[in-house]
Amino acid sequence: MDVTFLGTGSSIPTKDRSHPSVLLEYEGDSVLFDCGEGTQRQFVLAKKSFMKVSKIFITHWHADHFAGLPTLLHSMHLDRRERAVEIYGPEAKKFVKAMMKIGYGKQSFRIRAIDVPHKGGIKKIFENEKYEVFSCPSSHSVPSVAYLFAERDSWNLDREKLENFGLEGPQLNGIKERGYIKIGKRKLLLKDLARKKGGRRVVYTGDTKKSLQIAKLAEGCNVLIHDSTFLGKEKYDHSSAGDAAAIAKKAGAKLLILTHFSSRYPSSSDHLREAGKVFPSVIAAKDFLSYTIA
């Protein structure tokens, strides 16, 4: 599971920071969180393939988080894409429909817009046999959400336990699917014969003020990627580095990655210093940073 930061700036880009976009690659699949202006060029510079992207999760419809969509989709068309693309977001159907009316663009593939609830609690918005995606409302000036990418838990059969029960080969067929096997009149559960491996979890907040809802979404996550636009008490519907650290601490996250830095700050060193006082396991994202979640 690899996370690549294609853009780590905020509303006004700088020469070093493009608009927000984060690529997550997992077992041959690629999903994109936000798609700021210039995202397709960032793909090229990062030597990543935007043709592999199956789903795009937009946190909210401020231009710095979605303005790269029309050109990215057009480039997919020019590269003769056939596979459908799903675009998730609050009020996605309305915004995607309006966006597709701009210009004379054509599409060689289907674009599915899926509305994500921006009120209430945590909701599951996608699942397959490998992973699930959840959302919850974030705290911003417009309808907005944060996302959790959650790998499903897995079970690894324990050789020592199997030997203790004299089990091997064909006897074990289907145990992971059923959750048990029968040996004569005895029923053995999967947990008696295997060790559970918790799935990896990544949370991406988009723009948000300090939110206990996001802390709940991020509970025990491997990586929390959090809005850290400002420092100290300067907020304006965003978080400071200290706010992000407080949420990471409350959630029990393993690692906090700060992103979405205001252009007024030439360096992220002060953000790291502020966050580190609250939550030591923290790094600052920069464009093209790639992080592998083991």
CA nearest neighbour of 259 among 39, 85, 20: 20
Measured distance CA(63)–CA(204) in Å, rounded: 18
Q: Which residues fall within 8 angstroms of residue 41, CB to CB, at 6 or more apart?
A: none
* Single pTM value for the model: 0.90
Tokens of 144: 């907005």
233 and 262 assigned to the same domain: yes
pLDDT at residue 182, rounded to an integer = 79
Residue 122 lies in a domain: yes
19 and 135 assigned to the same domain: yes
Q: Where are the alpha helices (DSSP H) in 12-87?
A: 39-46, 63-66, 69-78
pLDDT at residue 170, rounded to an integer = 67
Q: Which of 2, 29, 34, 64 is catalytic?
A: 64
pLDDT at residue 171, rounded to an integer = 65
Q: Decide if 64 is catalytic.
A: yes
40 and 185 assigned to the same domain: no
Which residue carries 């974030």 as its tokens? 138
Q: Which residues fall within 8 angstroms of residue 110, CB to CB, at 6 or more apart?
A: 84, 85
11 and 127 assigned to the same domain: yes
47 and 168 assigned to the same domain: no
pLDDT at residue 161, rounded to an integer = 76
163 and 30 assigned to the same domain: no
- Tally the domains of the chain: 2
69 and 215 assigned to the same domain: yes
pLDDT at residue 213, rounded to an integer = 97
202 and 250 assigned to the same domain: yes
Buried b (16+ CB within 10 A) or exposed e, 73-96: bebbeeeebeeebbbbbbbbeebb
294 residues of the chain, pLDDT tens digit each: 999 999 999 999 999 999 999 999 999 999 999 999 999 999 999 999 999 999 999 999 999 999 999 999 999 999 999 999 999 999 999 999 999 888 777 788 999 999 999 999 999 999 999 999 999 999 999 999 999 999 998 877 877 777 777 777 666 667 777 778 777 777 888 887 888 789 999 999 999 999 999 999 999 999 999 999 999 987 789 999 999 999 999 999 999 999 999 999 999 999 999 999 999 999 999 999 999 999
220 and 165 assigned to the same domain: no
Q: By residue range, what is the domain housing residue 215?
A: 2-153+198-286
258 and 185 assigned to the same domain: no
Residue 293 lies in a domain: no
Which residue carries 């992000």 as its tokens? 244
Residue 41 lies in a domain: yes
